[in-house]
Amino acid sequence: MREPMQWTLPVGRLFEVGVRVHILLPIVFLGVGLKQWKALGDTPGAATAILAVAGLTFFSILLHEFGHVFAARAVGGDCDEVVLWPLGGLAMCDLPHSPRAHLITAVAGPFVNLGLCILTAAFLAGQMVVPPANLFETNPFFPPLYNWSLEKNVDAWYILLAGRLFWINWALFFFNLLPAFPMDFGRVLHALLWARSDETSAAGSTAYIGFGVMLVMCVVAIYFDSVLLLGLTAFIYVNCRALVVRAETGVDEVGGFDPSSDPDEPSPTRVRKPRPGWLQRWRQERAARIAHQEQEDRQREENRLDELLEKVQRLGKQSLTAEEERFLTRVSTRYRNNKS
């Protein structure tokens, strides 16, 4: 039986990457949605707000993960699969064994969220609206959006949508700033420590820093009575413990970017062939389609030629129509030219 952390559902492929959803994501969506439904009561538009936040969260997490995917490809690695979970995802990236490759790949995901924050904040500012930047006192379903020119809150649907998108990406960026493995800046910390020492020592140091962050987060989760934060502390503990095990024994139990590459393996074996760009792939696919079509056309011509030759043998050449005679002449001429 597969471990619970591997319970995922396939949802399709995008840019040649398999996309899977961890079972925790729909469960968290359902739990948070029901909690908000109860809290919002008879508030107009409550169901629409819950569905909108769920959709925007899924969209933002997906973009976050493809930030990792494209960064991995840019540094000479690749990614075959991404798994989406409530606070981001796990991009199953195969990277070159270097701190630089791991650092660039790790920061790409949060930078995507930060970019979305900047875009939505610029849009809101253009509408004279203050972005909802307070994560702990703002309800993402109905964020308070204050228009400083009108000196009142606004509730236009497109401004609400932008406010929700800002809050979600701001939250994803903020939580991935935690220097605790496997959060993205925990991976950044691992890469920075690796650059100053060796990968095994960096893994151990990153894990124990993560344990410290986990204890602080545990206190915060209890103070704010947050089940999600408490679940995140458990997730950090499991991954940091696996990182310690790998640092001490060399046995890899860590998912996501592969930090466990054998440092004794010669680097040339880790060099991956450059991935063809989309234009090159399109040309290759187009050439393959043309070749397939030409093969089918030749086969049809050969079949018709056999039929006409059989007709001539049975009924004589005078039985051919003008179009059939032209076809025989054209095919015969091409055949003679090919032989010459």
Structure confidence by residue, pLDDT tens digits, 92-133: 778 888 899 999 999 999 999 999 999 999 999 999 999 988
Return the pLDDT at 104: 92
Residues 169 and 34 in one domain: yes
Residue 57, domain extent: 7-265
pTM higher than 0.85 for the full model? Answer: no
Residues 255 and 314 in one domain: no
Residues 22 and 119 in one domain: yes
Residues 253 and 127 in one domain: yes
Helices (H) and strands (E) in the chain — how many of each?
Answer: 9, 6
Compute the distance between CA of residue 235 and CA of residue 229 in angstroms, rounded to an integer. Answer: 10
Domain annotation covers residue 282: no
Q: Is the pLDDT of residue 154 over 70?
A: yes
110-119 burial, b at 16+ Cβ within 10 Å, e below that, comes to bbbbbebbee
Residues 49 and 194 in one domain: yes
Domain annotation covers residue 271: no
The vertex-251 CA angle with 248 and 256, nearest 5°, equals 110
Residues 95 and 38 in one domain: yes
Residues 291 and 261 in one domain: no
State mean pLDDT over 211-235. Answer: 87
Domain annotation covers residue 277: no
Expressed in angstroms, the distance from the first to the final Cα of the chain is 67
Compute the distance between CA of residue 61 and CA of residue 28 in angstroms, rounded to an integer. Answer: 14
Contact (CB, 8 A) for 91 and 65: yes
Residues 183 and 303 in one domain: no
At 300, the pLDDT band (50, 70, 90 cuts) reads confident
Domain annotation covers residue 239: yes
Q: How many domains does the chain have?
A: 2
Q: Is the pLDDT of residue 268 over 50?
A: no
